[in-house]
Amino acid sequence: MWSLEHPSPSRGVKERLRLLYSREQITERVKMLAGTINQDYSGRQEIILIGILKGAFVFLADLIRHLTVPVIIDFIQLSSYGAYTQSSGQVMKLSDLHHPIREKDVIVVEDILDSGLTMRFLLEELQKQHPRSLKICALIDKRHRRLMPIEADYVGFHLEEGFVVGYGIDYNEKYRQLPDIYTVEFLSPQS
């Protein structure tokens, strides 16, 4: 399997990237998700897609190119990871929505549904604004560390465990630009 090795600035640790999902696989899944959303929302006036920054921006951009239903795009920025590979458990809202969602059909677009802590926080915040419907579209549903009983309505890939980067998903702000999705292995300096 093709891999990349990059030295990490912290303590000489190397990061090995192994291809998990190719750009072709991602494209097919994004088209499939868009097709399902088009069917589910056919005849609706419009839906509001809320992308969670920063990780979901590439996924959201590709998803909307395949949607035929009218959409409004908005973004919210939340953080619970910082520079770490797992959630801190503390969710911070770094930016808010610009469009009202009261009595609107809303789909939250997320790169990875992991522990569920961030999503639970966001869903609770959005429910206070009384949307007509509220669904989740996750590119990757990673269940290994799920702490909250949250299920995505639309899922691109199911992943049991592993830390991933690429296609907008980062590790410490690196690797977002990669067109494929990779798992990251952290190697000791001796490796």
- Which residues belong to the active site? 114
Place of tokens 């920063």: 54
Q: H or E segment at 182?
A: strand 181-187
Q: Could you say which DSSP state residue 57 is in?
A: H
Helix (H, G, I), strand (E, B) or coil at 158: strand
Rounded CA gap, 158 and 44, in Å?
A: 29
Question: Which residues have a Cβ under 8 Å from the Cβ of 24 and sit 6 or more positions away?
Answer: none
Q: Which residues pair with 164 in a beta bridge?
A: 183
Residue by residue, DSSP assigns 14-46 as EEEEEEEE-HHHHHHHHHHHHHHHHHHTTT-S-
